[in-house]
Each structure stands twice: as structure tokens, then as C-alpha cells.
Amino acid sequence: ASIFKDVTQGLPIEVFSVNKQYLDDPASTKVNLTIGAYRTNDGKPWVLPVVRKTEKSLAEDDTLNHEYLPVLGLEEFTSAATKMLLGGDSKPLLKGMTFGIQSLSGTGALRIGAAFLKTHLNRNVVYISNPSWENHQMLFRHTGFEKIESYRYWDEKNKSIDFEGLRSDLENAPENAVIVLHACAHNPTGCDPTQEQWIEISNIVKKKKLFPFFDCAYQGFASGNLGKDSWAVRYFANEGHELFCAQSFAKNFGLYNERVGNLTVVVNDKEKIKAVQSQFQLIVRGMYSNPPCHGARIVSAVLNNEGCFEEWQSAITEMSGRIIKMRKGLRERLEAKTKPGAWKHVTDQIGMFSYTGLNVEQIEILKKKYNIYMLSSGRINICGLNTNNLDYVANAIADVVG
Ligand code: PMP
């Protein structure tokens, strides 16, 4: 008998299992709208030219070695990442009230931030949008949060934000609750609050003494403009909120498997920063000791060099531009084939994902009859669309909504 005899089979992770079904499907017409990764118009992964160039120059640099990084990571990376998020003119940044911690991509930043909130600030309640990136819940649960609550976000009928619901749920949240906010390009809905709505959220968070934990996985991917995409975080920081923000460089640098992330921390008392850093150091030490270097070196080299930074900007413009074009193309085709006006949400939504509003039966037919794969929530990755499959996908969707 095995000591593992009572271990039961865990539930599959939907996004990876549907992706696998796609990979195993021999059909030549198959389309993958599942996993959140950028694809070129040829349906291929894209190593950004500036990333490739930087990797080559790092490989040639004989002064670099593979010694351990400090526990909190590569300083030139974390400071550049924090500045990219908050902007060079950020009030707390200029006052020295911010710092960054290199993390295992966005997920790792959320995880160490959650651990700090639980262990050192005694937070036990977290509010997550409904719906949200499905990993948020598990992550806070594994950290030991006692109550994982949700706040309303998606208005099914209007296919937009349910702001009334959101407002009322945050207003009724207990003091000290942690509120997870998507900085931009909300996953999975693609719907972000307007600036006026963010101001209202900021007021509620302040009044109710909630803790804002931003998740910024798509900076540059929503509008193509870094400042616009982190407007909410910048606003909150300038308004005097103490906050955490998890940053991922998976999408905007195409560095998915290198696990490059940063946790930006804003602390209103400069004198406390050293203590906060020391506790983060112990959290990281006990979890994975210190972070990997390769990806952080790449991002740091690009963010800290004007020429490379510009090349990166043009890659971001290209990626976000292609997404916007595909949204437009899909909407036009669907409206021509189904009901005019019924697909406005496809272009209103921003970022990588669109919450289509397709139901489980329709999604099943798309898979069985057309070999088109998406999540059961109706979320599609717009990057899976290209000029070769757009007509095919639009025709198929038009058929199932009939
Ligand atoms: N938050 C959200 C909302 C995401 O969509 C993702 C990526 N799927 C992440 C965080 C973290 O991704 P990673 O750990 O790969 O940076």
C-alpha cells in the first residue's frame, strides 16, 4: 500500500486542458482561442525583436555570471518596473515611498503580496471580482485567507460592467478587506472602469479602509500606452493610498516562461520601508529563496535603455494594434451575419480577451462541429484570430447563435 493511497484526483485546470484538446485535434481548420498568449497573424508565438537582440547581447557579455540574485531581486529591474507602473512623476515615487520586489511573474507577485497581508497585516478577507482570472481565488485560499468573497463586475444583459453592483458590494465590504483590482484589460471580461468610476472606487476604498491590491498583467496591452493602461494605479498612488500592485512581464514582453514579475509596494511612512522589505525578504527566503535572473536582465536592459525602450514600445503598439484590428474584423463580420448592434461589446472591450456572451451549448458546438476552442465561460483570446481564420470563426459563431 502507498502512503499516497488517499490522494484524490485534482480537478483539471480548464485553460490548460482545453488547450491540450486543441493541440491533440488533428483537424487542419482548428482554431485556438483559449490560452492567454499573443500570436502573430500567422498564428505563431512571437519573440519580440528587442528581446531577441537583448538576449544575444547578454549571451555575448562575458562579465555576466550566474551568481544568486539578492532575495528581493535585481535592483535595476525592480526600480525600472516600479517607475514604469507609477510614472516618473508619481508623488510617492518622488518621495521615496515605493519599492519593488522581483517575483515569479505576476502570479508570484500576488502570492508574496498575499502572504505579507496575511502574516504581517493580519488580513483575512479578500474581495475578488466576479468573474476574475480563475487563479485569484486559489491563490488567496492557499495563502490562508479565511474568507474569499466576490464583488459584482459583469452585467450579463448589457455585456459591460455592473458598476452599481460593484459599488454596492465594495461599500458593504468589511473594513480592512483586501480588494483585488485589475489595473487594466480585465481578465476575462475585457471591461475596465472609466476614469470617473475609478475615482469613485478610490473614494470607497479610502472611506471603508479597504486595502487595494492591483493586478497589472497587461500594461501596454490594453491601449498600447503605458501611462493610460496604469492610470488607475497611478491615480490611487497619487491619492495617498498605500497599496500593492503585482506586475507581470509575461504578455507585454512575451516572456511567459521566464517568470518576470514585480510587486510594487507603496508605504506612506518612509521610515517603515526597511522593516517591510526585511519581512518580504523572509517571506521570499522561506518560499523560493531568490528569483531567477535571465528574464529580469532582459526587461531591465530594455527599460533602462532609451533606444531599446522605443523598440519595445513599437512592438507593444504592433501587438495591441493587431488585437484592436481583429476585434473590429470580428464585430463587422458578426454584425453582417447576425443582428446589427449585437456585437458592440467585442470592440468596447479591451486587452487580449473578449467575453463573448456565448453559452456552454454554443461553445460545445463550436468545438465539435468547427474545431474552435474557447473557455466554457465564453472568454476568447482575440490573439487567436488572424486574417486567415477570421471569416471561418465569424461564420461558425453566426451559425451557433443562429
Ligand atoms: N493576473 C491576471 C489577471 C492574468 O490574466 C495573469 C495571466 N494569465 C496573471 C495575473 C499572471 O500571469 P503570470 O504569472 O504568467 O505573469
- pLDDT by residue (tens digit) across 276-320? 999 999 999 999 999 999 999 999 999 999 999 999 999 999 999
The ligand 1 site (C-beta within 6 Å) comprises: 36, 105-107, 133, 182, 187, 215, 217, 248, 250, 261
Spatial separation of the C-alpha atoms in residues 232 and 282, rounded to whole Å: 30
Ligand 1 binding pocket mutation candidate from 34, 107, 247 (most atoms within 8 A of CB): 107
**Beta strands 125-130 and 178-182, pairing class:** parallel
- pLDDT by residue (tens digit) across 217-260? 999 989 999 999 999 999 999 999 999 999 999 999 999 999 99
Contact 240, 205 (CB under 8 A): no
Rounded to two decimals, the pTM is: 0.96
295 is written with which cell numbers?
Answer: 528574464
The per-residue pLDDT for 145 is: 98
Contact 189, 226 (CB under 8 A): no
Q: Is 217 exposed, middle or buried (0-12, 13-18, 19+ CB in 10 A)?
A: buried
The per-residue pLDDT for 341 is: 76
Annotated catalytic, 215?
Answer: yes
401 is written with which cell numbers?
Answer: 447563435
DSSP state of 382: G
Contact 258, 295 (CB under 8 A): yes
ipTM of the complex: 0.99
Annotated catalytic, 133?
Answer: yes
Which residue among 83, 159, 251, 367 is the active-site one? Answer: 251
Spatial separation of the C-alpha atoms in residues 358 and 377, rounded to whole Å: 8
Which ranges of the chain have pLDDT less than 70?
A: none
How far, CA to CA in Å, does 78 sit from each of 205, 263, 272, 399?
27, 8, 19, 49
Q: What are phi and psi of 47, to 5 degrees?
A: -85, 120
Which residue among 46, 83, 118, 133 is the active-site one? Answer: 133
Which residue's C-alpha comes closest to atom 12 of ligand 1? 106
Annotated catalytic, 272?
Answer: no
**How many Å lie between the centroid of ligand 1 and the Cα of residue 219?**
11
Q: Kindly report the length of the chain.
A: 402
Spatial separation of the C-alpha atoms in residues 356 and 99, rounded to whole Å: 38
What is the number of the ligand 1 atom nearest to the C-alpha of 106? 16
The per-residue pLDDT for 131 is: 96
Contact 319, 374 (CB under 8 A): no
